[in-house]
Structure 1
Amino acid sequence: MSPSPAQPLAHDIAPAAVPGFALDQWYVAALGWELKDKPLGRTLLGKPVVLFRTADGQVAALEDRCCHRALPLSNGTLEGGGIRCGYHGLLFNDDGKCIEIPGQDKIPSKARVPAYHVREQDQIVWIWFASPAHPVPTCEPPIYDVHSSGKYLFDGDVYHYDAPYQLIHDNLMDLSHLGYVHLRTIGGNASIHMNAQMSVESDDNVVRVVRHMPGSVPPPTYTAAYPFSGNVDRWQEIEFHVSHLRIWTGAVDAGTDDLNNPDRGGFHMRGFHGVTPETETTSHYFWTMATNPKSDPEAVKAKVIEQTILTFDEDKVVIEAQYQNMCRFGTRPMIDIHVDVGANRARRIIEQLRQAAC
């Protein structure tokens, strides 16, 4: 279990993340099913972290460094009492306190490692990255009941990107690229994508982009998963939060439902996208995709996940090539077009929070 917010101790609290990121936020550290019987080492916002489950199934997160001789604790093993260093066997509990030193009865008071506040919610593992002003979480992690409502089947995985995290945001905030990048899967007519009916709303923390494409030919992923009778009315609803995005896409047979109806039927794909910086130039991308099969649920889910992986593989190639070219050409200016509104607003939110954390 994570350190108690009610009783923070200075030596229990992990150091703040490196400057340059929006702090005082819950970021995605892992998907729940990644944490099994071994520790998981991962660099998040420039900080090496080891994640693991305790004997009672709770999630813990410590700095990934033994305080004795600096071996990564992620090279160690899990025991009922915590995590044991793989070098000299020091055993640490979920609060980072050393509770056993083999061959030595006295345990020095300084034998401990920093612990992070971590929570598991709806099979997503969240970690709090604090500014010096807010070492203890000021809110609970986000709820994502798509995973827990029982209305959808879902699966997911993790990508590592050799590219800055905001380039992933840009890609997800602008789905006009589908008609060019994803012709084999969720794409469709490129002209319809570029001319979709679009609205953008935002406040201090959230950007919401809604795109409607009535009278569209359904793309390959849609026809493989749902028995459409012909053309469809498609929607794309993107909700940006600093640490993650929620994207609801889908379609109904043309003219059969109102695309503004929150309870509309048809084929649904609900994507969760946890985008967590690893460093200033590399990223972790945690994703899940949920769908609502009309028949043969496991086969349809498998098809949707297969198509989603193909789609995200295509995005990864584009984004990493984009970043390589940005490095090659340096500070050459880039222009904006009409589809960039949502992504630009998201960048402004992050810049305001980043400046506040400096």
Structure 2
Amino acid sequence: MTTTVQAIHPNDIKSASIPDRSSFPLDMWYVAALSKEVQDKPLARTLLNEAIVIYRTTDGQVGALEDRCCHRALPLSLGTLEETGLRCGYHGLLFNSSGKCIEIPGQDKIPSKAKVAAYPVKEQDDIIWIWFGSKENPQPTCEPPAYPVHNDDRYLYDGDIYHYEAPYQLIHDNLLDLSHLGYVHVHTIGGNAKIHMNAEMKVEQEGDSVRVTRYMPDSTPPPTYTAAYPFKGQVDRWQEIVFHPSHLEIWTGAVDVNTESLDDRNRGGFHLKGFHGVTPETDETSFYIWTQASNPTSNPEENMKLVIEQTALTFDEDKVVIEAQYANMKHFGDKKMIDIHVDVGANRARRIIKQLKGE
């Protein structure tokens, strides 16, 4: 018996799925990476269901392309960097930042269809932003959000990236509700759980942003604070969370009790200024791209390292909680959940996201 094997051309292979960004707000900048992540190697990253390669040419320019060569579909993230673009690691096609193939080794004529999708990107304040537009606005209609803290001489900072097996809005919920600190982060930035749950809280909305301000006067400073700053005893603490659809800014800290007004934007004491870029990978997974800036007074480099280590520990704790939360939500299906007083900010943020999606 003779078996006939039919040859299959690569173009005959059907896609298992077509990337769909419609689940997310469009016509806005998302955080794609920290600048330090994109150096001498291409970075493969799926964002909003789309496989993307982010790269820096040898002359320092950042680009972002569909992570697929138009010749034989090898991921371009397996390629090499050159001054004029990204070269595929299979047959050497060279692509520029607009996605156009500008060289095919051994072939003078370049087909007009030799191109891949390109994404608008901008590097600013050590953050790489990527534009996800609608059909009406494929090109940016505004500049990316500024984050001047990264250029402020008063602060040192560092950061990292987490991958979550959970939708991005659960991370929004977590960051907008810092009442959980007393329970989840007992050994780092927590403190007295009762004080956290009963803290004076103000929630304000302006356009697509939500600001949650919480004050905790006469508190015991948590371990991270006392390790980095010479407090004399009890402290007056503040937490200020500002939600934007693409990221959150969280400013927390403390001063010695009864020494400065918590309403004073120029108050001293110990500061933690966090940048939290929350970007969907898929409908059910996310990237959490963060930095933490601080102003340690003594042994600044050594204490800043401690602050970053402690910050990472808190995010480890959050990751366990959020991923377990989502797994349980899927297990119990449509079973209803209740809201309590600490959910006001998170609920407003969810309404903003729904509005931006046109729901």
SS at match of 1:147: helix
Partner of 2:340: 337
Equivalent-residue separation in structure 2 for 1:154 and 1:253 (angstroms): 23
Equivalent-residue separation in structure 2 for 1:301 and 1:17 (angstroms): 41
Say whether the 8 Å CA contact 1:54–1:94 is kept in structure 2.
no
Post-superposition offset of 1:109? 1.1
Equivalent-residue separation in structure 2 for 1:16 and 1:123 (angstroms): 28
Equivalent-residue separation in structure 1 for 2:201 and 2:26 (angstroms): 31
AA paired with 2:88? C
Say whether the 8 Å CA contact 2:196–2:216 is kept in structure 1.
yes
Say whether the 8 Å CA contact 1:237–1:248 is kept in structure 2.
yes
Identical counterparts, % of pairs: 70
Q: Is 1:104 aligned to residue 110 of structure 2?
A: no
Partner of 2:90: 87
Q: Unpaired runs of 5+ in structure 2?
A: 1-17
Post-superposition offset of 1:80? 2.1
SS at match of 1:271: strand
Q: Is 1:276 aligned to residue 258 of structure 2?
A: no
Partner of 1:214: 217
Post-superposition offset of 1:136? 1.3
Q: Is 1:291 aligned to residue 294 of structure 2?
A: yes
SS at match of 1:355: coil
Equivalent residue for 1:323, pick from 315, 323, 326 = 326
Equivalent residue for 1:161, pick from 155, 160, 164 = 164
Q: Which has the higher contact order (CA 8 A, sep 6+)?
A: 1
After superposing on structure 2, the runs of 4+ consecutive aligned residues of structure 1 that deviate more than 2 Å are: none
SS at match of 1:83: strand
SS at match of 1:299: helix
Equivalent-residue separation in structure 1 for 2:133 and 2:82 (angstroms): 29
Equivalent residue for 2:71, pick from 54, 57, 68 = 68
SS at match of 1:351: helix
Partner of 2:39: 36
Equivalent-residue separation in structure 1 for 2:37 and 2:189 (angstroms): 27
Partner of 2:15: none
Say whether the 8 Å CA contact 2:164–2:286 is kept in structure 1.
yes
TM-score for the superposition, normalised by structure 1: 0.94
**Pairwise mapping of residues 1-358 of structure 1 onto structure 2 (< 5 A)?**
18-355=21-358
92-101 or 322-331, which moves further after superposition?
Answer: 92-101
151-160 or 85-94, which moves further after superposition?
Answer: 85-94
CA RMSD of aligned residues (A): 1.1
129-138 or 27-36, which moves further after superposition?
Answer: 129-138
Equivalent-residue separation in structure 2 for 1:246 and 1:35 (angstroms): 23
Post-superposition offset of 1:54? 1.7
Equivalent-residue separation in structure 2 for 1:232 and 1:353 (angstroms): 40
Q: Unpaired runs of 5+ in structure 1?
A: 1-14
